[in-house]
A and B are shown apart, each in its own frame.
Chain A
Amino acid sequence: MRYKVRLPKLRGFAERIPRYFRNWNLRIGFTVFSSIVLMATIGPFLIPYNPIRFGTFKPNLPPDSTHLLGTDSFGRDVLAQIVVGTNQSLTIAVTAALIGTLVGMLLGFMAGYYGGFIDAILRSITDIWLVIPMLPMLILIASMARRTEIWVMSLVLSLFSWAWPARQVRGQTLSLKNREFIYMAKLSGMGNTEIIFTEIMPHMLGWILTVLTSAVLWAMMAESGLEILGLGPQHTITLGMMLYWSNLYASIFRGLWWWWSPTIVMLILIFTSLYIMHIGVTEIVNPRTRKEGG
Chain B
Amino acid sequence: MNFVIPRLAPGDPIEVIAGRLMAQGGSSVDLKELVLEYRRMFGLDQDIPTQLLSYMGQLLQGNLGYSITVFPAKVQDLILNALPWTIGLLSLTTIISWTLGTFFGAVSGWRSKKSRLHDALNSIALSLYAIPYWLMAIILIFLLAYVIGIFPLSGGYTPGATPGLTLDFLKDVLWHAGLPALSIVTTSLGWWYISMKAMIASLRGEDFIILAEAKGLDQSQILWKHAFRNAIIPQVTGLALSLGNIMGGSIIMESIFAYPGLGWLLYHAIISLDYPVIQGITLLIIISVTSATLLIDLIYLVIDPRIKYGEQ
Contact = CB atoms under 8 A, between A and B. Distances in A.
B132 interface: yes
A40 B253 CA distance: 29
Given A252-B141, A252-B146, A257-B142, A264 B282 contact: no
Interface stretch (B5-13, B22-30, B165-173): B5-13
The 6 closest A-B pairs by CB, nearest first: A133-B248, A275-B130, A144-B9, A272-B130, A271-B130, A133-B285
A243 B248 CA distance: 22
A135 B9 contact: no
Interface string A244-261: 000100001100010011
Interface stretch (B87-95, B229-237, B263-271): B263-271
A264 B126 CA distance: 17
B30 to A, nearest CB: 28
Given A225-B134, A267-B135, A268-B135, A131 B289 contact: yes
Contacts, number: 92
Interface string A170-195: 00000000000000000000000000
A268 B130 contact: yes
B131 interface: yes
Interface of A: 131-133, 135-137, 139-140, 143-144, 146, 217, 221, 224-225, 228-229, 243, 247, 252-253, 257, 260-261, 264, 267-268, 271-272, 274-276, 279, 288
Contact of B131 (A146, A261, A271): A271
A228 B9 contact: no
Nearest to B281: A136
A229 to B, nearest CB: 6
Interface in B224-246: 245
A221 B131 CA distance: 9
B286 A264 contact: no
Contact of A275 (B11, B126, B134, B278): B126
- Determine chain B's interface SS by DSSP, over half rule: helix
Best-buried of A143, A224, A260 by chain B (most CB within 10 Å): A143
Interface of B: 1, 5-6, 8-11, 126-127, 129-132, 134-135, 138-139, 141-142, 145-146, 153, 202, 245, 247-249, 251-252, 255-256, 266-267, 270-271, 278, 281-282, 285-286, 289-290
B45 to A, nearest CB: 22
Nearest to A271: B130
Contacts of B266: 136, 139
Contacts of B202: 288
Contacts of A288: 202
B256 to A, nearest CB: 7
B5 A133 contact: no
A280 to B, nearest CB: 12
- Determine chain A's interface SS by DSSP, over half rule: helix
A13 B247 CA distance: 45
Contacts of A146: 10
6 contacts: A133-B282, A136-B251, A139-B267, A217-B130, A225-B252, A252-B142
Given A224-B132, A271-B132, A143 B141 contact: no
A8 B199 CA distance: 37
Given A135-B251, A228-B252, A275-B126, A268 B131 contact: yes
Contacts of A144: 8-11
A221 B130 CA distance: 9
Given A136-B285, A140-B5, A228-B256, A221 B270 contact: no
Contacts of B278: 136, 140
A247 B138 contact: yes
A288 to B, nearest CB: 8
B5 A253 contact: no
A274 B245 CA distance: 25
A228 B290 CA distance: 29
Given A264-B138, A268-B131, A276-B126, A140 B6 contact: yes
A131 B286 CA distance: 8
Contacts of B289: 131, 133
Contacts of B281: 136
A135 to B, nearest CB: 6
Best-buried of A135, A137, A243, A279 by chain B (most CB within 10 Å): A135
B302 to A, nearest CB: 24
B273 to A, nearest CB: 8
Nearest to A261: B142
A229 B10 contact: no
A217 B129 CA distance: 12
Given A131-B289, A133-B282, A271-B131, A139 B10 contact: no
